[in-house]
């Protein structure tokens, strides 16, 4: 009887050891040979008809297909799982395995995430993609590892352009005395202060009404956001500037990632790569289509800055470059300018 009892104790101990090798992802799965069985949650705060959501669905499709269904991927759009204010903390806690925050939400974690807000830094989506795929962009991502967070990729929304209800903006002085809605943040506030304008942070969902009621004179956004939210109905002028950007960071939990065996990790990485490719392609097409529709609508006067006019803005904003290059890192700024 003693030997039988001892055998049972040993069996339970071995079983407990085996269970301790489960990954940190929702549902878990033993870290051994073969594809691990687990559930991955992806949360974001925007709607389904966006490049971000389409990329997330592609990530889900690839992972579930390549794993023969052993890995389940659940996508939560529209802040249905976590919102802007708490998604990062829940990623750190591994309550969700992937999030896609606007990089402006990460500037408190590291000043390098101010890069999309640096004026006229990138001439195209391709240049921005190349920076974040390169050495310096990846270096900024690694600075989140102190929080237990791993930066996987940049997913773009695109360059921002300006609308207003006062006059066509062609030179820095045209902004003098205006009040412009921005996403918020010290860098954007500093940019508009240097241009003689005030800035206000208003929730995106309330922006149409704020423009309609004259709470602010104008706003900056991507073509897709301007067209989809019908800002051309309540604004008279749009300037194609590309002065700042909206870009997202695809982030995962470090413990979750390190808990995957090589075979499982390769499958998840393939999903990330394919999702990133689709999100980037979708963002460019969506913005191109939105600009064409804004022109077709004919409700807003559209002006595009010439190279000489852009240089005038750059000259006015030179103090911003000097101050923020110190905060972000001159080597990082120089690398971005080279793309």
Instruction: Provide DSSP, 193-241.
Output: HHTT-EEEE--GGGHHHHHHHTSSSEEEE-HHHHHHTTGGGS-SEEEE-
* Residue range 126-136, pLDDT digits in tens: 999 999 999 99
47 or 320: whose pLDDT is higher? 320
Rounded CA-CA distance 189/26 in Å is 40
State the pLDDT confidence band at 25, using cuts at 50, 70 and 90.
low
* Residue range 190-211, pLDDT digits in tens: 999 999 999 998 888 799 999 9
Domains of the chain: 38-338 (3.40.190.170)
Average pLDDT, the chain: 91
24 or 180: whose pLDDT is higher? 180
DSSP helix/strand/coil, 154: strand
pLDDT of residue 26: 56
**Phi/psi at 261 (5° precision):** -75, 175
| 296-325 b/e (C-beta count within 10 Å ≥ 16 → b) | eeeebebbebeeebbebbeebbeebbeebb
Tokens 């995962």, located at residue: 252
For residue 29, pLDDT beyond 60: no
- Please, which residues bridge with residue 41 across strands? 74
Provide the whole-model pTM.
Answer: 0.84
Residue range 303-310: average pLDDT?
Answer: 96
Q: How far apart are the first and last CA of the chain?
A: 75
């Amino acid at each position: 009887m003693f030997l039988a009892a001892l055998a049972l104790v040993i069996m339970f101990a071995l079983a407990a050891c085996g269970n301790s090798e489960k990954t940190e992802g929702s549902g878990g799965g033993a870290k051994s040979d073969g594809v691990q069985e687990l559930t991955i949650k992806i949360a974001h705060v925007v709607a389904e008809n966006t490049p971000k959501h389409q990329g997330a669905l592609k990530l889900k499709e690839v992972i579930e297909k390549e794993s023969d269904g052993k890995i389940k991927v659940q996508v939560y759009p529209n802040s249905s799982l976590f919102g802007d204010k708490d998604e990062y903390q829940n990623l750190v806690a591994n309550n969700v395995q992937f999030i896609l925050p606007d990089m402006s939400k990460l500037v408190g974690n590291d000043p390098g995430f101010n890069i999309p807000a640096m004026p006229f830094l990138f001439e195209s989506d391709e240049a921005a993609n190349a920076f974040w795929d390169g050495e310096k962009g990846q270096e900024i991502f690694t600075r989140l590892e102190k929080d237990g967070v791993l930066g996987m990729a940049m997913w773009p929304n695109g360059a921002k352009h300006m609308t207003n209800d006062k006059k066509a903006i062609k030179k820095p002085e045209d902004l003098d005395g205006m009040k412009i809605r921005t996403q918020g943040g010290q860098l954007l506030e500093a940019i508009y202060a240097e241009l003689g304008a005030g800035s206000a942070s208003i929730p995106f969902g309330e922006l149409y009404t704020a423009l309609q009621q004259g709470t602010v004179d104008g706003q900056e956004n991507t073509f897709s956001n301007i067209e989809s939210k019908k800002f051309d109905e309540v604004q008279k002028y749009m300037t194609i500037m590309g002065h700042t950007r909206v870009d997202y960071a695809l982030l995962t939990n470090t413990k979750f990632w390190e808990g995957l065996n090589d075979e499982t990790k390769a499958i998840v990485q393939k999903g990330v790569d394919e999702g990133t490719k689709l999100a980037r392609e979708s963002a460019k097409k969506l913005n191109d289509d939105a600009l064409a529709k804004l022109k077709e609508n004919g409700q807003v006067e559209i002006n595009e800055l010439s190279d000489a006019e852009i240089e005038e803005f750059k000259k006015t904003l030179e103090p911003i470059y000097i101050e923020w290059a110190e905060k972000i890192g001159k080597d990082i700024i120089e690398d971005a300018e080279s793309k």
